[in-house]
Amino acid sequence: MKIGIQSVGVLLAGVLSMLAVTPVTALETNPSGAVATENDHSLLSDLIAEALANNPELQSAKARWEMYEHRVIPSRSLDDPRLSFALSNYPIDSFADDETPMTGKEIQLSQMFPFPGKLAAKGEMAEQQALWYRGVYDDARLRLVQQVKDAWYQLYFKEQAIDITHKNITLLKDFVRLTETRYAVGTGLQQDVLKAQVERSKLQDKLFSLEQQRISALSDLNRLLGRAIDATLSLPDDLSLTEIDAEINRLSDLSRTHRPLFAAYEAMIDRYKAQRKLAKLNYYPDFNVFAGYRVREEVPGDPAAGSDFISAGVSINLPLWQAKRRAEVAEADSALRMAWSQLADMRNGVDSTIIDQVARMKKDRDLVTLYRTGVIPQAQQSFEASLAAYQVGDTDFLNLLDGLMTLYRYQIDYQRALSDHERSVARLEAAVGVTFASQE
């Protein structure tokens, strides 16, 4: 019996030792909150730079913008002139070139000139289309940065949750040994042993799920970076809580000037205005100017004695089919209404995102403060009091185990709130088009 009691004492000492190195203690020794090092910030900055350089989807968006940019000059240019060569007025019975005065070999050069203003309108359409795709590309950069940060913070949470779960599993292993020892010496119950084993198995199951989620989060981040899916990377030990002190109206105003997609929609509207202008100009004809030179042979009895001929002229197309041109104008008008509606919808969507993410940030920031300064220290004190009471037999094991699992859940919830706050910041940055860290 004496040996059994000594074993219980040793195990309780081990539990207290494990408790002393849990993440809760780390929070208590840093009451001002988690502070990421400069190196932690540089890790994320390096990943963002890598994603911007290597992400295939972003590279595709850039190539598409450049493709449309290269269309501007051709759309503003005249069509190539036409050079033609003809054998004119050859008699079909002999095909001789010296029998009739009208026979000759003719070279003709022609050039099509659109009605004034048409080329400028086409060039404006192409330029504004290129500006649209530039805005789409710049906005894709913002969204990629947000996606990298979101994946980074998710991965951070999974790592922290796995670390906390590992430590609590180790602690529960000691609890299992503790209950088994107390049961062996007659001071404990078998149901305590079984309950401790069940809770340890539940945490082990949770650990398996977290490890699978970590692998998925890592593969998502590597995909964004353009890396191999199973590549490894470093993560910070803690996150800093980004402070944003800005009113919703100010954030909304900032988005109008900093979010690239707003400028892109303005370019789309200007593009359809130019299309409407071109449709109006299509009521007027284009001009084809030509000049020709005919080489003739000497023909007996020809008063001109084989002199060469020159010719010049102009031709126009006849824009008779007015229904087609009215349809072109109506198409441009519909496109303009569509673009204005899309711009209004985007404004509403951005404002809604700003309101939603600001509310989420406030909630998560309050939760972080609550967990850090109130809930977790109180839960830890409650658990330590239960542990002390259990040592002297003033409480049962189920209360002690409940205190430990409650503390575990609060530790996980704290890390989740911290991660979610930074994810909301990233979404807000993408919606507004600014990086708040650089605004402080």
Of the residues 300, 318, 336, the one at which a domain ends: 318
Q: Of 76, 69, 73, 71, nearest to 120 (Cα)? A: 76
Residues 381 and 420 in one domain: yes
To the nearest whole number, what is the mean pLDDT of the chain?
A: 83
Read off the pLDDT band of 31 (50, 70, 90).
very low
Q: What is the pLDDT of residue 35?
A: 35
101: which 2 tokens? 């005065």
Write out pLDDT tens, residues 375-388. Answer: 888 888 888 888 77
Residues 292 and 424 in one domain: no
Which structural domain range is residue 225 located in? 2-78+117-283+321-438
Instruction: Indicate the number of domains in the chain.
Output: 2
Q: What is the pLDDT of residue 229?
A: 80
- 299 has a pLDDT exceeding 80: no
- 108 has a pLDDT exceeding 90: yes
Q: What is the pLDDT of residue 260?
A: 93
Q: Which residue has the higher pLDDT, 433 or 35?
A: 433
Contact call for residues 105 and 85 (beta carbons, < 8 A): yes
Contact call for residues 182 and 188 (beta carbons, < 8 A): yes
Residues 181 and 125 in one domain: yes
Q: Which residue has the higher pLDDT, 303 or 23?
A: 303
Q: What is the pLDDT of residue 304?
A: 66
Q: What is the pLDDT of residue 110?
A: 94
- What is the average per-residue pLDDT within 25-46? 49
Instruction: For residue 158, give every residue at least 6 positions away whose Cβ sits within 8 Å of its Cβ, in sequence order, or none.
Output: 210, 213, 214, 217
- What is the average per-residue pLDDT within 368-378? 89
CATH of the domain at 335: 1.20.1600.10
Residues 247 and 344 in one domain: yes
Q: How far is residue 188's CA from residue 173's CA, in Å, rounded to a whole number? A: 16
Residues 95 and 231 in one domain: no
Q: Which residue has the higher pLDDT, 10 or 367?
A: 367
Contact call for residues 264 and 135 (beta carbons, < 8 A): yes
Q: How far is residue 358's CA from residue 240's CA, in Å, rounded to a whole number? A: 17
Range of lowest pLDDT (34-48, 300-314, 375-389) = 34-48
Q: What percent of the chain has pLDDT over 70?
A: 86
The residues that bridge with 83 in the sheet, in sequence order, are 109
Read off the pLDDT band of 133 (50, 70, 90).
very high
Strands (E), 202-344: 287-295, 309-316
- 53 has a pLDDT exceeding 60: yes
Exposed/middle/buried for residue 13 (C-beta within 10 Å: 0-12, 13-18, 19+)? exposed
Contact call for residues 198 and 171 (beta carbons, < 8 A): no
Write out pLDDT tens, residues 412-421. Answer: 999 999 999 9
Q: How many CB atoms lie within 10 A of CB 209?
A: 12
Residues 134 and 209 in one domain: yes
Contact call for residues 353 and 431 (beta carbons, < 8 A): yes
User: pTM value?
Assistant: 0.79
Q: What is the pLDDT of residue 81?
A: 94
Residues 240 and 366 in one domain: yes
Residues 188 and 133 in one domain: yes
- What is the average per-residue pLDDT within 49-63? 91
Contact call for residues 336 and 270 (beta carbons, < 8 A): no
Q: What is the pLDDT of residue 70?
A: 94
Contact call for residues 179 and 234 (beta carbons, < 8 A): no
- 353 has a pLDDT exceeding 60: yes
Of the residues 302, 318, 334, the one at which a domain ends: 318
- What is the average per-residue pLDDT within 245-249? 81
Q: What percent of the chain has pLDDT over 90?
A: 43
Q: What is the largest CA-CA distance in the chain?
A: 146
Q: What is the 3-state secondary structure (H, E, C) of 380-428?
A: HHHHHHHHHHHHCCCCCHHHHHHHHHHHHHHHHHHHHHHHHHHHHHHHH
- What is the average per-residue pLDDT within 68-81? 93
Residues 143 and 268 in one domain: yes
Residues 17 and 47 in one domain: yes
Rounded to a whole number of angstroms, the distance between the first and last alpha carbons of the chain is: 65
Q: What is the pLDDT of residue 26?
A: 35
Q: Is 238 helix (H, G, I), strand (E, B) or coil?
A: coil
Q: Which residue has the higher pLDDT, 423 or 26?
A: 423
Residues 64 and 138 in one domain: yes
Residues 256 and 385 in one domain: yes
Q: How far is residue 190's CA from residue 414's CA, in Å, rounded to a whole number? A: 34
DSSP annotation string for 115-178:
PTTHHHHHHHHHHHHHHHHHHHHHHHHHHHHHHHHHHHHHHHHHHHHHHHHHHHHHHHHHHHHH
- 121 has a pLDDT exceeding 50: yes
